[in-house]
Amino acid sequence: MTTQEMYEQINKWKKEKNAIILAHYYQRPEIQDIADYVGDSLALSQMASKTDADIIVFCGVHFMAETAKLLSPQKKVLLPVMEAGCVMANMMREEDIKKYREEHPDTIILMYVNSTARCKQYADVCVTSSNGLKIIDHYAKLGKPMLYGPDRNLGKYAMQKSKDIKLDLWPGFCGIHNGRTKEEVLKAKAEHPNAEFIAHPECKLEVLEEAAFVGSTKGLIEYVTKSECKEFIVGTECGVIHEMEKRCPDKKFYLLSNMFNCFEMKLTHLEDLYNCLRDETNEIEIPEDIAVRARKCVDKMLELSK
Ligand code: SF4
């Protein structure tokens, strides 16, 4: 079956089943091209909370589909590849954050969206790379102790941006973002002297300090679209370049490192999406007591993101 034939059949099922396909910017280009909506974690959460569709097929990793299910509990949320996880999300275990909560009852727990629903149930608020600085800043004004996790790098970046922010940091990170170095950036800048370097806040501070702009995947895409610069060294996962090239065919994009390729995100192929929608398999289910508690921190994030 050709890609075009698969697209036609997927579109036919979408109408018959009243289904919507959401895809993260890190997905394969052929998945992004058939999706109804492509976005970052925040935008996809907002879309999941608003859609009238009966079925959401979430092309991304497990915690994202879980977040969609939290926000659309009556809808059927399907994840084409159930094994597609997130290394960073797996760096926080439920028993550890539960213990932290018990030992620090007055601490505000700010939970990066890259976390399981089981961990989110112990948090006060959820954040993404789009709204992280704004929400951390909001809670810093309350003057209470704060924990941020599982991504330590965005937390360090927030503390560097504002002296008023003091965070206890969970020791988690994304392997592919955290693995990038200042030396790699300097080498890429030397190779592309006319290019601006832009980076995602999951990178280490030494990398972010070299960037002309730091932002979420959506923020980075919007930045290159508006910028007058014609060349960019991209400091995040390779999937975003598909959207950047679509929006800016006259500009050049160089990936900082070939290591910027998330194995988990690339587990989903068009055939997986096709089979998943046809058979309505891989439904996300969250025990109701956990969902009720975890939903509160995601709802709080959406309220503060308006
Ligand atoms: S790029 Fe990193 S943080 Fe994002 S899904 Fe992959 S492992 Fe997780």
CA torsion 64-65-69-71 (nearest 10°) is 30
**23 torsion bin: left (phi>0), alpha (psi -120 to 50), beta (else):** beta
- Predicted TM-score (pTM) above 0.85: yes
Question: Where do the structural domains in the chain lie, given as residue ranges?
Answer: 3-86+265-285, 89-174+291-304, 180-255
Determine the topology of domain 3-86+265-285 in CATH: Rossmann fold (3.40.50)
Residue of minimum CA distance from atom 3 in ligand 1: 174
Q: What is the pLDDT of residue 162?
A: 87
Q: Give me ligand 1 centre to Cα 181, in Å.
A: 17
Residue of minimum CA distance from atom 6 in ligand 1: 262
Atom of ligand 1 nearest to the CA of 174: 2
Residue of minimum CA distance from atom 1 in ligand 1: 262
- Amino acid identity of 90? N
CATH 3.20.20.70 for the 180-255 domain, yes or no: no
Closest CA to 220 of 209, 230, 232, 203: 232
Report, at the CATH architecture level, how domain 89-174+291-304 is classified: 3-Layer(aba) Sandwich (3.40)
Q: What is the pLDDT along the chain (306 residues), one digit of tens a residue?
A: 899 999 999 999 999 999 999 999 999 999 999 999 999 988 888 898 899 999 999 999 999 999 999 999 999 999 999 999 999 999 999 999 999 999 999 999 999 999 999 999 999 999 998 899 999 999 999 999 999 999 999 999 999 988 889 999 999 999 999 999 999 999 999 999 999 999 999 999 999 999 999 999 999 999 999 999 999 999 999 999 999 999 999 999 999 999 999 999 999 999 999 999 999 999 999 999 999 999 999 999 999 987
What sign for the dihedral angle of Cα 289, 293, 294, 296?
positive
Domain 89-174+291-304 shares a fold with domain 180-255: yes
